[in-house]
Amino acid sequence: MMFRISIVCLIPFGLIGNVNPIITLSAYAVLGGMYLFIFPLFLFYWMNNRWNVMGKFERLFIYGLVFLFFPGMVLFAPFLNLRMNGKEES
């Protein structure tokens, strides 16, 4: 009896029945693309703009995100230059 009630409750959410493999693969592709491309690029941008003014808790949070998105960071590291600009000659 309880099993029938739970199935009836899940039907409106589309959780019962066959799942289209195209939708599943596209969801994996979108999430993988965000994990490998979008979040690491945003993280590089954030670190480049805030490096000298970060507080200790923000820096700790950023280091945690670097650890979390490490594969994407390694993917872009050879192509990005985060060194500060030197003093220009006057």
Write the pLDDT tens digit of every residue in 55-89: 999 999 999 999 999 999 999 888 887 776 767 66
Q: At what angle are helices 56-68 and 39-50 packed, to 10 degrees?
A: 150
Q: Looking at per-residue confidence, does 26 or 6 come out higher?
A: 26
Residue 14 has a pLDDT of: 55
**Domains held by the chain: number:** 1
Write the pLDDT tens digit of every residue in 16-30: 556 678 988 999 999
For the chain, where are the alpha helices, taking DSSP H only? Answer: 2-10, 21-33, 39-50, 56-68, 70-76
Asked whether residue 85 is domain-assigned, the answer is no
Asked whether residue 49 is domain-assigned, the answer is yes
Q: What is the dihedral of CA 24, 27, 32, 35, to 10 degrees?
A: -140
Is the distance from CB of 54 to CB of 62 less than 8 angstroms?
yes
Asked whether residue 41 is domain-assigned, the answer is yes
Asked whether residue 71 is domain-assigned, the answer is yes
Highest mean pLDDT: which range of 4-8, 45-49, 81-85: 45-49
- Structural domain containing residue 64: 2-79
Q: Is the pLDDT of residue 5 over 60?
A: no
Asked whether residue 15 is domain-assigned, the answer is yes
Asked whether residue 86 is domain-assigned, the answer is no
